[in-house]
Every structure is written in structure tokens, then in C-alpha cells.
Structure 1
Amino acid sequence: MAQISDNMRGAALMTGAMVTFTINDSFTKSLGDVLPLWQLIFLRGIGVTVCLAIMARLMGQLRFDMPRQDWGIMWLRAAAEIGGAYFFITALFNMPIANVSAIMQVLPLSVSLAGALFMAEALGWRRLVAILVGFGGVMLIVRPGGADFNIYSLYALAAVACVTLRDLIVRKLSRSVPSMMVSLVAALAVTIFAGLASLTEEWQAMTFAQATHLGGATVFVIFGYIFSVAAMRVGEIGFVAPFRYASLLTAIVLGLVFFAEFPSALTLSGAGIVVATGIFTLFRERKLALRRRVVPDRIR
């Protein structure tokens, strides 16, 4: 029996992570008309925080002896996570799930561009052109001024901005800070903030079906975390990362089956452009990383 390579295992885990995260999004969206936003985020966050704490403990990554600077960076990252959760879920409640997912696929491009602009990271002309083309694809999805445009498209873009900030901030952390600890702090911050914010809302009692959907959202987001952490520990990141786009296909299928939503031709075209340019950017970054790794060896 042929042995599965680390890269293929990583790809399968990344695909599993994206599928389970998107199923969580579907369960969350189904509750948009019946539960207040912060009540939903708070109740889901309790399960996520407990699970991440257990995972961090089992992996030996539950540590509290980090330098004060790293704690400050983690809490700043958590603030960006709170903003991302608010804007993303609000957009999800009010837009087709595939449209929101398509806009979020621009993240690899926005992180690369922001890294070049604010952290002086190298960005060649090929990747720059790919990024600009990718943002053109986003405009096909959002279509400002078009008949289908609404304010929640801007919420989805605001979520992209928050997550981009989150991913840039984490690069300032010391390498000794455990990744699970970073995720745990963010989940804890989101849960606490959501709990406080929910006091401004009128809490709603849940039916058994609604509680089941909330439980489904919690379970699937937990499995998403487990798969995504495992994916980053197996195989090469440059090979595994492009499989994150499985979330878009999953969102299209779930939107059609459960919400009777199907993206327009322009949205699909824009999503295709974003995915193509994102994959090109990821492969280009992988190639450059390999080149940087080889050159010092030759110097020695």
C-alpha cells in the first residue's frame, strides 16, 4: 500500500479545515434572524475557548511566562480578531455566503501587499501585478454602485482589513511564543468582549433546533482549528496553503443547498480571478523562499 506523503496529508488537513470552517459559517448564518450577534458569538466562543485551552495543555503550549511585549502584541492581535469577527459575521448574516467567502479569499494578497507597505517586505513586480489583478477581481464581486451592492460588502472588506492587521501583528511575536497560546488568547478576548457586548442586547431563548445549530457551529469551528493547526505542522506551507481555497467551493455548494443562493456570473468571475492570483502569489512566495534558503548554503 502506497504511503501518503506529508504534503498530501497537509493538503487533506487544510482542505478539511476550510470545509469545517465553512460549515460553521453556514450554521452561524442560519441563526442570523433569530439570535443577537453578540449572544451568538459569546455562546460559541465559550466552547471554542475551552477546546483551545485543552489543546494547548495537551500540546504543552499552555504558557504564561511570555515577555510583557509579547503579551501586548497578543492582546493587540486579539483586538483585530474581535473586529474581524464582528464585521465578518455581520456580513455573513446579510449577504450570500459564497459572496462573503469570495471576498475573504483576497487575504493572501492583502497580507502580502500590507507586508510590503508597512513592514518593508520584498515584493517583486510579478506579485504586485498579481495583487492588483486580484483586487480587480474583488471589485467584480463587490461591484460598487451596482444594483446588487449593499453596505455589507464593505463589512466583508472591513473583515479582510482586520484579519490582515491580525496576520501582520503576529509577525512581531517572538518565535518562542506557542501558536496555540496565541489562538487561545484571541478566542478568550473575543468571548469576553462578546459577553460584555451581549449585555446591551436582549437575549433570546433558543429552541432545540436553534441550540443544535449553535452546537454544530461550535463543533465545526473547533474541528477547523484542530485541522488547521495540524495542517501547518505537516508538509510544506507553500504546498499546503493553496488548499485553503476549498472554502470557496464549499461555500458555493452550501449556499445553493441550504440558502438557495447561487453567485452571479460576475461574482464567479471575480472569485476565479482572486483565487488564481492568490495561488500564483503563494507559489511565487514559496519559490522565493526556497531560493533564499539555497543561496546562503552556496555562500558557505
Structure 2
Amino acid sequence: MSPLRGIALKLTSVVLFVIMSAMIKAVSDEVPTGESVFFRSFFAMPVIIAWLVWTGKMKTGLKVASPMAHFLRGIVGGAAMGFGFAALGLLPLPEVTALDYAAPPLTVIFAALLLGEKIRLFRISAVFVGLLGVMVIMLPLLTVKEASPAVLWGVGFVLTSAVLRALVQIHIRRMVQTEQTSAIVFFFSLTTTLLSLLSIPFGWVMPEPQTLALLIGAGLIGGVAQIFLTSAYKGAEAALLAPFDYASILFAILIGYVVFDEVPTGLTLLGSAIIIASGIAIILRERALGLKRFKARGGMTPQG
């Protein structure tokens, strides 16, 4: 597979994930977060299984070396998904997308603290610049004049989601040493499906037909997006594909404006630009140094 095809697959997955988020946001006023997590996870599994059958990996693709590692990944990753979905119901789609960019610089920090990875001056400087961009986005959301309890909760939820996602990345870096990517993806969906059932006592609803279609669609699209993402990393280096993650803000702005009548603030755009610049600087620096720790192998993806 050529790098250009890898880029096309990565961009397609980015678009699909934004569409999935928009569908979850569209039903957030009617459907509890736990129920949304259930549909997103449950209906992704048939897509993943169909993909394994199609690629002839059904017999070997779900083998597990450490069930506890998968369970832990499911708990933390499921919590990250839940907080992210909750934020979608409280904040505009572009703001949620932009604030979620806090996860990559936090991953760098956690890698140093938990994995003992060395951080050079250039890299840590770029990380702090990225976090500065996050603060720029938060500024108009947290001003005394404009802030509301819902907005404050939304900011807290999306930042919590970013922290948990960063921790998941560290955990996945350890898992991929012994676990297959297809197993990581499938058992994450299975674990979050089962855990989401614990939220039933807190008030699930019987969705209307249109709402049900959006929930099922979100799960199916999420599963397809994960497959596209995994396929992209099979034929192109992670360092080449990573910058295209930031294209999500463009699609989030477009969908937010067309579907939800949301217009991003100037500070949101400025903060996004700062975060994107810092992220690309890190990627280019790592590539120039010839570091291979992020090199794609055997279908591995940063998201797992």
C-alpha cells in the first residue's frame, strides 16, 4: 500500500470519527451518556468481526495474552469515551474537538513519568506551547461573564477525557508488545459495551426511530472508522499520518456550522492553530532525529 493511500484512509477515518461525534451530539439531549456508549461500542463489534472474516484473521486475530490488560484498557478507555460524549452535549462540536487535542501533549508528559522516556528541551517546549493553545481555547469558555455551570462541566468533562485518553495511549504502548491490534480493538468494544450496561439504573430511554437510527449509525461508523484507521497505519509511517489527525477541527467546524449552527470563536481558532503547530513541530522533530518508536507495525495504531 502506498503512502498516499494510507493518507487517504487516515483522512477518511478522521471524517468518519467527526461524523460519529456529531451523531452522538445530535441525540445527547434525549439519550443518557451511558446508553450512547453502549450503542457506539456494541454496533462497532459486528463491523470488526466482519473485517476479521474478510481479511482471514478470524481464527488468530482475537487471541489474547493478558485478559487483565484488555479489561484495564476497557475501563479507562470507556471512561474517556463517556466523558467525551458527555462533553458533546454541553459544548459546541469545534470546542470539544479542539480541547481534545490536549491528549497528545499529555501523552508525552505521561510517557516521561510512567515509561521513563527522555524528553528533550525542544519537545517539552513544544508540549507546553500546545498546552498554552488549550488554555487559549478555554479562556472565552471560562470567563465570568459567559461561563455557566453547563459550560464548566463540559470543559471539565472534555479535559478529563483527554487525560484518560493520554493514559490509555501509554497503556496501549505496553499492550502492543504482546497483544494484537485487532484483539485490542475488539475487546475494547466488548468491555465498554458490558460496562455501559451498569448505567441502566441511572435512566436509559427507549429511543425514537430517528434517534435509534443515529445511535446505531454512530456505532457502525465508529467501527468502520477504526478499520480505516488501522488499515492506514499498515502502509504508512505513523509520523507521516499523525499530522492529519488535526484535520478533524476543519470538519468539526464545518459540521458544527451546518448542522448545529455553531460558529467557533476567534480564540478557538487561534488556540487550535497553536496546538496544531506544536504537534506538527514534535512530529517533524522526531522524524528528523530518526526515532522509530512511533513507527507503524502490523496494523498498530496510536488509538488502539
**Structures share fold, TM-score greater than 0.5:** yes
Query: 1:297 maps to which residue?
Result: none
Using the size of structure 2 for normalisation, the TM-score is 0.88
CA distance in structure 2 between the aligned counterparts of 1:174 and 1:187, rounded to whole angstroms? 17
CA distance in structure 2 between the aligned counterparts of 1:109 and 1:174, rounded to whole angstroms? 21
Aligned residues: 285
Please report how far the alpha carbon of residue 126 of structure 1 lies from its aligned counterpart in structure 2 after TM superposition. 0.7
Query: 2:127 maps to which residue?
Result: 131
CA spacing shift, 1:104–1:116, aligned 2, 3 Å: same
Letter in 2 for 1:270: G
- The range that moved more, 233-242 or 202-211, is 202-211
Query: 2:248 maps to which residue?
Result: 247
Structure 1 runs of 4+ with >6 Å offset: none
Query: 1:30 maps to which residue?
Result: 26
Query: 1:238 maps to which residue?
Result: 239
> Which ranges in structure 2 are unaligned for 5 or more consecutive residues?
294-304
Query: 2:180 maps to which residue?
Result: 178
Query: 2:206 maps to which residue?
Result: 205
CA distance in structure 1 between the aligned counterparts of 2:192 and 2:133, rounded to whole angstroms? 31
Partner SS state of residue 99, structure 2: helix
CA distance in structure 2 between the aligned counterparts of 1:58 and 1:228, rounded to whole angstroms? 16
Q: Deviations over 1:175-228 (max 9, x none)?
A: 342101011111111100112212x13332222221222232123212211110
Please report how far the alpha carbon of residue 53 of structure 1 lies from its aligned counterpart in structure 2 after TM superposition. 3.0
CA distance in structure 2 between the aligned counterparts of 1:108 and 1:44, rounded to whole angstroms? 23
- The range that moved more, 94-103 or 118-127, is 118-127
Please report how far the alpha carbon of residue 58 of structure 1 lies from its aligned counterpart in structure 2 after TM superposition. 4.2
Please report how far the alpha carbon of residue 268 of structure 1 lies from its aligned counterpart in structure 2 after TM superposition. 1.0
**What is the aligned-residue RMSD (CA, Å)?**
1.9
CA distance in structure 2 between the aligned counterparts of 1:81 and 1:8, rounded to whole angstroms? 30
- The range that moved more, 54-63 or 98-107, is 54-63
CA contact (8 A) 1:95 1:152 kept: yes
CA contact (8 A) 2:80 2:165 kept: yes
Q: What is the correspondence of 1:1-300 to structure 2 with a 5 Å cutoff?
A: 6-59=2-55, 60=57, 62-63=60-61, 65-67=63-65, 70-143=66-139, 145-146=142-143, 147-149=145-147, 150-173=152-175, 175-198=177-200, 200-290=201-291
- The range that moved more, 102-111 or 268-277, is 102-111
CA contact (8 A) 2:62 2:186 kept: no
CA distance in structure 2 between the aligned counterparts of 1:270 and 1:65, rounded to whole angstroms? 42
Using the size of structure 1 for normalisation, the TM-score is 0.89
Please report how far the alpha carbon of residue 65 of structure 1 lies from its aligned counterpart in structure 2 after TM superposition. 5.0
